[in-house]
Amino acid sequence: YTTAHEMYEEVMNLGDGLIAAGLKDAHIAIVSHNSVRYVLADICVSSGVGVVTPMDVDAPAELLTTLMDKCDATAAFCSFKCLSKLEEVRKACPALKTLITMDRKVDGYPFWEELTAEGKKIAEAGSSVYRNIELDLEAPAKILFTSGTTGANKGVILTNANLAANIMNCMDTIKAEVG
């Protein structure tokens, strides 16, 4: 990605691809090392596809299973390095149906580039759903888990209004210029 517009288009296409794959209103986890795609997946899901839950890439499978159950995840984005751990989690977590690979095509799994290509076709046909979603500001958009230092991890639900407020509160610190 070289421009903000290219990243915007990637988010839009991914959104339509996820919706076409039946993931509208789904709870979708992200278990991956930091990357641009991690950020774009987070933005995409929390901005209209469903509810996103980022998870610690280094968490053991047992903890990930517990967290997936707590956040009602039915799908998860994952990097190739995390796929085998997520396959183990999926066996123990019946609600987790879909694992989406972010950085490598693996037979039998939806792949990022396939989803974005499908979304692009949908947009080019003038049939985009994602680009026309009106967000409910009070709807859940993200679940963040506490570290669990004093007990079990607890999920904190953030709404679209919470996320917008966080962005606005950062604007005094982050100096962005047009151009």
**Would you list the DSSP string of 164-176?**
HHHHHHHTTTS--
Decide: residue 162, CB within 10 A, 0-12 exposed, 13-18 middle, 19+ buried. middle
Supply the pLDDT for residue 176.
66
At 50-61, the pLDDT tens digits run 999 999 999 999
CB count within 10 Å of CB 177 equals 4
Q: What is the mean pLDDT of residues 165-172?
A: 82
Eight-class DSSP state of 132: G
The Cα 155–Cα 55 span in angstroms is 11
Q: How confident is the model at residue 135 (pLDDT cuts 50, 70, 90)?
A: very high
Q: How confident is the model at residue 89 (pLDDT cuts 50, 70, 90)?
A: very high
- Mean pLDDT of the residues in the chain: 93
Smallest CA-to-CA distance from 142 within 29, 10, 52, 36 is with 52
Q: Report the predicted TM-score, pTM, of the whole model to 2 decimal places.
A: 0.92
For residue 72, pLDDT over 80 is answered with yes
For residue 30, pLDDT over 90 is answered with yes
How do strand 51-54 and strand 27-31 relate by DSSP bridges? parallel
For residue 103, pLDDT over 90 is answered with yes
For residue 1, pLDDT over 80 is answered with no
Supply the pLDDT for residue 175.
72
The Cα 78–Cα 161 span in angstroms is 27
Supply the pLDDT for residue 43.
96
Strand partners of residue 158: 142
